[in-house]
Structure 1
């Protein structure tokens, strides 16, 4: 196949309906790829029973592997005895069965005659040699065989490791990398064919190092989790909680893989499950899936295993004040020097785990990865570290750390006596603008030159790379920056919010209105984009202060300005494109709804959540849904907007949030024609291209809506009846009823005759009036205060 030809996956197959196989199938379906999911035929009943049970199991998983539940309709159940002919329709076949070489060999032999001529076969193995697996594949298929290692859960974990064999066609691997990057939204690391590849090799060693030093320093499991979580740039689940979530049996299996496949590793004596871990597994305490492992919940309290008593004690897990002070030091070099100098066992523990990870990664870099950047990205994307091990080392002062590690090796304090490679002491770091260090090639390696990466205008970078361009500022105020990125498109402006969490206050509203006015004079279009979140809604702090000062007239003017900003986006003379990633809540959602077009990252959380603080959408959101209902009614028998309003009312009253871009479409927050992007690094590129295409096509804004048909009094009464039933059933509080009734009034166009024809200004006035009246109530004020204090909604 020509390396420049299109690679299109019309249909895929996943072999193996276990936890990983079923979730990989779900994510392919998320990406609009129909999937055939295979497993063994069931011994009784429906031959596809095993797969159908797995698909049903996907519905219960949390976090959900599907972006909307209908995606599961695009997974077909199949079995190896009856349905292998279906493989002939598949362009990509991913094998995800148990890690037994003889099982895989048998399966490859069975499927080979049925594969399409150009199909790619990829194994999701994490522990077996890809070259050895390739040897079991028919010779004429080996060029299109490789390893593809997803991380769990596949929808959410960014990392995919691709592993070539000695026979893999390089052009095919480039095509697969391109497709997985853009279509599935993943970050690719090309791994070498070594046990556990890159992320698990370093990540599991990191866990083993923590276990070793936990025992050596006599620390408690909860104490270690306090130390090895966000305080050092690791996930909240830290070390031992992560082990419980993964499954202690799974962890022991991966450790066992390292023990059996890496006999010559200088750290091999440490590749063994500790006695306490083996004992837990023997007792069936496997972690979260058995509700008991290193931690267990008793009522609402968390208890932790105590090795001394062999029982469970209440979990405390506190960091000593002097160590907490060291961890607050911003300068990494000073922080690491302080950890080394401290005599406190917690500080010594932290230095020890970092020292041994640095030592391990440096020693093995040549064996396991093409370059240091790949190791750092693998740990960020696969294990959720904020910085990879080489970045952390370089930030802390490469030479000083290298000398300290060498001194500890010489003194016998390190976990292994293996010497540091010569290059470590010769260099000042591994990441430079020219590239990242390859120990195997003794050279700096630049980033991949595959064209797909040109779509990432702001790719993720490692410490030491060239800082990314900040573009050219055209105008800014305290809330908003209007700028361009000349290398992408100098005539499309980018509007970025500057406020904390991109909350929308006066300065952002003024900024949006002014930025659009300037774009109309100077530019061809405008894109709303910044790092996530998109916007968490109105600036509640400003609202709270105005309430305390009794400035309700001022608040009404601010709401009117909010509405004007939304309408500015809708009726701008140039195309306005909202590029959304992360949360777009409340007023943020209203801005999204009013843009001329939306480009939305799959992992976006979009919704009108005002009910949570005792309010209704009044940044023109209620108006917009009423307008759309009237438009939709024109195409329906009876020309009745109420069925649409009824659905929207439930969404607003219950503060429902689309937990993916596809779910946001179902709720009506974004439109069917909007773009859903799987790789968030492509978001700005696609939004700029979309704005350019709209401008070049002669974009004209919609005409202001007239003759909007509203439901009026009967609509409000019917929605109130729904609320009465909910209140009597105990599903909502009396004040929830009050807030929801205001939403009903705004959506139905106020106290008017059914079928009345109104304009947008009328609807804006109704929603604004209802909003301000709610602001004046004590219970809404309590809800706002509670949200500001706790970050959580109050049910009063």
Structure 2
């Protein structure tokens, strides 16, 4: 069977998006060459590198926050090129992504230039946020048009899950299927196919919603900070709300997207066209060149520690920080149907505003569904993945009661309260949707063009997604009930999909490892050894685990004293050793945070399979503790193993790396950085797509078992002893005396150093894992009784942020 094998990708354009797309390709191990214009000689006439534009863009990648790179040094893996000298390099590329400025004439000129160099099998895709893909294709030779389409990454490309693919009438279906498979598995993205309409799906609905929100803000006289408080997490949307999000995206970018709507549509083609005018406040900020985060000022401006907001009436920044009335916060916690009724009947402007923007979103999505998307699923997925909404507009509408909400919307339209006079489509009130109570059903999602519910697209790549992200009302397997349950408690579900591999899923809050969860994992290992080929510890969703259950441990100390805590820690350590020396492979399938005990669980597993966005580290010092479930023992053993593999065999440099990681609570900001910190090994697997994690992990367990897996031998290893401890302790004294760490930091770090070096023993003394774990328990238990540690634990539980004392 032939397949679309992408050996190399070219990205045309080293601007913000092009450079970051190239960075993400490097993250997922896809070789990439980045093109831009040839640099011109400087004013002094001195020669410059013709690839200077690209080289500068690559250098800037290392400075950006959040980082577009899993490892900053990997920026050097991007190959540089320019259009004058290097077009022949395109012949070796299987995929070419054009990402230059949003100018139809510039893109067309570039297509004429590159067309002779595009390989006959290669796909050419334009990363545009809204230009007509069909119109762009007219600049291409007839032979290339079947392999041309639109590909719309969202910014920043590494972190945003959504990619929209847009075909022209000439695009071959196979080219679209091949590209969707590559973007899904290799790049780790969620693909939505959009129709070739202005701004496609997510930006069309998102921008229209933003403009409608601004109109309602003016109508109800609300301030930006209150609106952001209302339209952020409380509403199930991105925490940044409306105006902070615009500041992050860039007011110029938003202005461009608005202009695309203004230029491409008309009152005849869009009944909402009158709402696409540039809001006065946005026009004023653009005039002032206050473009948001990139310029330090937009709707908000940070001055020292104060956050100011822009006031259009005075044309200046005034103190911000206002919050919404809490009565609406309570309303937003109600069930969907009750929530919408309360907001619609609210007397205060904040409640009326909330109903208005939700009503407008439902209205707009229903009217435009047929023209911009194939099904309602595409709209809801696009808004979830592109705008960080907890639910898409159709999901919320359906949950609240389809026909009842539809009647409320139409009543507002008839009363002139809506932003358009366009009525809701006939399919909203009559036929299959009305009968089913919504657009998402077990059979599929509503397609108004075919007038039927259509299932998800069936491509081989989706066989790897055992539990894809489902929409409310949609049919499909759900991990809480799928497969065959072997054992289940309130803390853990032990189950199997195929009677070959056991899966253990923690059910505790944030996957905390409570005593009950630890007992369940121990039973899962026993079960896997007795009847199955392996065990996969899979969270189902973020996070993997935030570690031991401190809320259970601190009361345990108060009630039972040091002896009870020592016993609890011993049980955790025994679990880690049981996992490490199990007679079947134990795979930790990591997504999101694997912190503290979650990290210890992972490092003691036979292998780790992690998605790119995994954040792994030993963070116990943040609550005034040390890793107590074998984390320091792991670091000491790994330091010895690494020293033995090196030429010098000097233990201390490798030990210092582990000490720094634990004492500074370093967390890998990607799976790639976690490898650098030693929490993932080169033999571990990084999976780009979160929904493929379980598929890869279970297959890895089977492969290891069938290859004759045996656990590692229990071996002693050398420690640095009192000399190594003295060296580290000297550095800590300097940091304390210099004011870089507090006295309690010094105390905690000293205990970490004591465990890592083996305590008061001679350098080179051979020890067992159990010996170091005993030192861990002693130090952990002593710290749990320390008042400074109590302050840190209580502060973390109350605010989620570390306390420095």
Would you say same fold, with TM above 0.5? Answer: yes
Match of 2:487 among 448, 470, 475: 475
Match of 1:753 among 738, 762, 765: 762
Counterpart check, 1:458 vs 2:467: yes
Query: Is the 1:323–1:344 Cα contact (8 Å) retained in structure 2?
Result: no
Q: Deviations over 1:658-678 (max 9, x none)?
A: 011111111010111111011
Q: Which residue of 1 aligns with 2:155?
A: 152
Once the two structures are TM-superposed, the CA of residue 299 in structure 1 deviates from its matched residue by: 2.4
Match of 2:322 among 306, 314, 317: 317
Counterpart check, 1:636 vs 2:654: no
Alpha-carbon separation, structure 2, partners of 1:571 and 1:638: 30
Query: Is the 1:224–1:317 Cα contact (8 Å) retained in structure 2?
Result: no
SS at match of 2:107: helix
Q: Which residue of 1 aligns with 2:583?
A: 573
Q: Could you tell me which runs of 5 or more consecutive residues in structure 1 were left unpaired when the two chains were aligned.
A: none
5 Å-filtered alignment, 1:614-625, equals 614-625=624-635
Query: Is the 1:525–1:692 Cα contact (8 Å) retained in structure 2?
Result: yes
Q: Which residue of 1 aligns with 2:45?
A: none
Query: Is the 2:639–2:658 Cα contact (8 Å) retained in structure 1?
Result: no
Identify which range, 785-794 or 16-25, moves more after superposition. 785-794
Aligned residues: 788
Alpha-carbon separation, structure 2, partners of 1:324 and 1:712: 57
Alpha-carbon separation, structure 2, partners of 1:21 and 1:460: 28
Match of 1:271 among 261, 273, 276: 276
Alpha-carbon separation, structure 2, partners of 1:216 and 1:237: 22
Q: Could you tell me which runs of 5 or more consecutive residues in structure 2 were left unpaired when the two chains were aligned.
A: 42-47
SS at match of 1:318: coil
Q: Deviations over 1:336-383 (max 9, x none)?
A: 122222232222222221222211111111110010000000000001
Query: Is the 2:639–2:655 Cα contact (8 Å) retained in structure 1?
Result: yes
Q: Which residue of 1 aligns with 2:573?
A: 563
Alpha-carbon separation, structure 2, partners of 1:737 and 1:493: 43
Name the CA shift for 1:226/1:632 in 2 (closer, same or farther; >3 Å): closer
Q: Which residue of 1 aligns with 2:174?
A: 171
Alpha-carbon separation, structure 1, partners of 2:621 and 2:344: 51
Once the two structures are TM-superposed, the CA of residue 158 in structure 1 deviates from its matched residue by: 0.4
Q: Deviations over 1:368-412 (max 9, x none)?
A: 001000000000000111111111111111111112222222222
Once the two structures are TM-superposed, the CA of residue 735 in structure 1 deviates from its matched residue by: 2.3
Once the two structures are TM-superposed, the CA of residue 93 in structure 1 deviates from its matched residue by: 0.8
Q: Which residue of 2 aligns with 1:360?
A: 364
Query: Is the 2:211–2:279 Cα contact (8 Å) retained in structure 1?
Result: no
Q: Which residue of 2 aligns with 1:533?
A: 543
Q: Deviations over 1:692-725 (max 9, x none)?
A: 111222221112123x111111111121222233
**TM-score relative to the length of structure 2:** 0.96
Once the two structures are TM-superposed, the CA of residue 555 in structure 1 deviates from its matched residue by: 0.9
Once the two structures are TM-superposed, the CA of residue 523 in structure 1 deviates from its matched residue by: 2.0
Identify which range, 726-735 or 104-113, moves more after superposition. 726-735
Q: Which residue of 2 aligns with 1:343?
A: 347
SS at match of 2:500: strand
Q: Which residue of 2 aligns with 1:180?
A: 183
Alpha-carbon separation, structure 2, partners of 1:292 and 1:722: 42
Match of 1:190 among 193, 208, 225: 193
**TM-score relative to the length of structure 1:** 0.97
RMSD (CA atoms): 1.5
Once the two structures are TM-superposed, the CA of residue 742 in structure 1 deviates from its matched residue by: 1.3
Query: Is the 2:554–2:784 Cα contact (8 Å) retained in structure 1?
Result: no
Once the two structures are TM-superposed, the CA of residue 767 in structure 1 deviates from its matched residue by: 2.1
5 Å-filtered alignment, 1:650-729, equals 650-706=660-716, 708-729=717-738
Identify which range, 246-255 or 780-789, moves more after superposition. 780-789
Query: Is the 1:372–1:438 Cα contact (8 Å) retained in structure 2?
Result: yes
SS at match of 1:139: coil
Identify which range, 203-212 or 473-482, moves more after superposition. 473-482
Runs of 4+ in 1 over 6 A off after TM superposition: none
Name the CA shift for 1:393/1:478 in 2 (closer, same or farther; >3 Å): closer
SS at match of 1:290: coil
Identify which range, 514-523 or 554-563, moves more after superposition. 514-523
Alpha-carbon separation, structure 1, partners of 2:641 and 2:334: 58
Alpha-carbon separation, structure 2, partners of 1:341 and 1:698: 67
Q: Which residue of 2 aligns with 1:743?
A: 752
Alpha-carbon separation, structure 1, partners of 2:84 and 2:552: 66
Once the two structures are TM-superposed, the CA of residue 100 in structure 1 deviates from its matched residue by: 1.1
Identify which range, 453-462 or 547-556, moves more after superposition. 547-556
SS at match of 1:397: helix
Alpha-carbon separation, structure 2, partners of 1:329 and 1:586: 35
Alpha-carbon separation, structure 1, partners of 2:463 and 2:321: 48
5 Å-filtered alignment, 1:113-152, equals 113-152=116-155
